[in-house]
Structure 1
């Protein structure tokens, strides 16, 4: 779902493709991802502020246990970073379990609940990686409209878009156009086809909100922990057919990069992190312009995970 970081358009930083094994000539991050041998654990993040915040929380939680951490944030979309984790270039990554399953592991999966999603991930993930405990915290994709648009077309759920979407423009990250939990799924599950699609970089939530408020787009793929939804009284359309599956914050780890101490530290974060916590921290990041490392430290301290 993240999403310090500029809150406008964020350019994805793509890493050189990793090779296999531990050959540092093929893998630019090799040798940095250890957990039990004194080497540094590489913690990565996607190219949006929330995910960078979560990566910072993971990093500080690991450091609080005396582990060395190398931060590799702002990498890009899942289509870019997933292989880096599978091949060991990244040791720890804050993921969203439903999106991980449907985008990277099994695009045909019909799992929706947290339990179903995690069961399939544990069965289908490559042998080099695993998920740890999921947090209660969840940040789902949504299709969101302004209160004015909702009232004009009597929109309450995604199904209500079907007769009017042809005259509307949908704004979203470029990846949303081809994902099953995106434009393809909207057509398949709800019969919804937008007249136009406005692609933006994955970190452009603030830009999406502005385009939505200015009526440059009439619907937007916003993350449900975006504080603008409450602040600007936007309407998240209901998803009765569960197009968007559970999206619990879940550590994805390269097995050889993390020891029991590291796993315990990450699972402790998951045990405490709630959606309300995530929304409050995003308000501090976006509205109050606080630095991610400060927000992360304050939360870890309040949760009793750091001093």
Structure 2
């Protein structure tokens, strides 16, 4: 899942915003403990998150919300990628973080085929992870932050590509045009490039695949110099801001990625009010909302901590005493 800024200047702003968000706690401090209720009074939670904009934002939402309901919070958002967060959750280093149903199904539970129905995919993931690993999933959000391939719109018209199958055909006729920018994690995941290549029968030469940081993938795809195609997240606000065209996954390879809070079963059983507190917020997080929130960080250069707090306050989730 991914998000990016407008060209060079906004790339810098977004990077600065992410750096600040990793250490800033000012926004969370502005929310008075118990200002929205005391369901979690006496609880203490260490909150983690992955290291891309949307997941940092979701982590900050949890930080503000749980604190407003009386919990003491240790903010460890921007902890790293999927693997570090999952390991930290399982070991007890953190108490909760947001993950995605498709990631749980493919990466954690080692299934090879996604379930195309959103509700069924989440149900199967949540039930299996609880049974096998004692991890509780609270959710899901309506948002589906799935992977996709994107290309700058003018180049899409020039090459006549609308689907991923079109890219596979282009490899046969104009292989030099199929240059790809992706993140490191996407290069190794079963629901990333290896699986995508197999599903579509395309082998992109290694020298035509560039591994870049998330934000750089977007800007380089927009420039069209390093790569024509880029791996993107469908809820990323930079897709529209940069005028990129998202290619249809016509073989429906990519799983559905509904976000949810993952927490150890023992923690949830100790604090079942977590679900009551989180679910109203979870229900509000659809694709359009997340695109707007992500764009405030990656396009406008705001801090995730501030954006998340302002959104929660605007929606009435922080109580009347919230700053």
Q: Deviations over 1:245-296 (max 9, x none)?
A: 1111111111223412222212221122121111111121122222222211
Identify the structure with the greater helix proportion.
2
**Equivalence map 1:1-307=2 (5 Å):** 1=1, 7-8=14-15, 38-125=42-129, 126-165=132-171, 166-167=175-176, 168-195=178-205, 196-200=208-212, 204-214=213-223, 215-258=225-268, 259-307=271-319
Unaligned 5+ segments in structure 2 are 4-11, 20-38
Q: Report the CA distance between 1:228 and its aligned residue.
A: 2.0
Aligned to 1:14: none
Q: Is the 8 A contact 1:2 1:46 kept in 2?
A: no
Q: Report the CA distance between 1:184 and its aligned residue.
A: 1.5
Q: Report the CA distance between 1:115 and its aligned residue.
A: 1.9
Query: 1:36 and 1:285, CA in 2 relative to 1: closer, same or farther beyond 3 A?
Result: closer
Q: Is the 8 A contact 2:114 2:256 kept in 1?
A: no
Q: Deviations over 1:125-181 (max 9, x none)?
A: 134311012011221111111112211221101110112243222111112122222
Mapped to 1, the partners of 2:243 and 2:14 lie a distance apart of 20
Unaligned 5+ segments in structure 1 are 12-34
Secondary structure of the 1:244 match is: coil
Mapped to 2, the partners of 1:86 and 1:128 lie a distance apart of 9
Q: Deviations over 1:58-109 (max 9, x none)?
A: 1111111101111112221112221221222221111121122212222423
Moved over 6 A (4+): none
Q: Pick which of 117-126 and 133-142 moved more.
A: 117-126
Aligned length: 280
Q: Is the 8 A contact 2:2 2:232 kept in 1?
A: no
Q: Report the CA distance between 1:38 and its aligned residue.
A: 3.1
The structure showing larger relative contact order (alpha-carbon pairs under 8 Å, at least 6 residues apart) is 2
Q: Pick which of 51-60 and 120-129 moved more.
A: 120-129
What TM-score does the superposition give when structure 1 sets the normalisation length? 0.84
Q: Report the CA distance between 1:237 and its aligned residue.
A: 0.3
Q: Is the 8 A contact 2:14 2:302 kept in 1?
A: no
Q: RMSD over aligned Cα, in angstroms?
A: 2.3
Q: Report the CA distance between 1:8 and its aligned residue.
A: 4.4
Secondary structure of the 2:185 match is: helix
What TM-score does the superposition give when structure 2 sets the normalisation length? 0.80
Q: Report the CA distance between 1:54 and its aligned residue.
A: 0.6
Q: Report the CA distance between 1:2 and its aligned residue.
A: 6.7
Q: Deviations over 1:171-200 (max 9, x none)?
A: 111121222222122222111222322112
Secondary structure of the 1:256 match is: helix
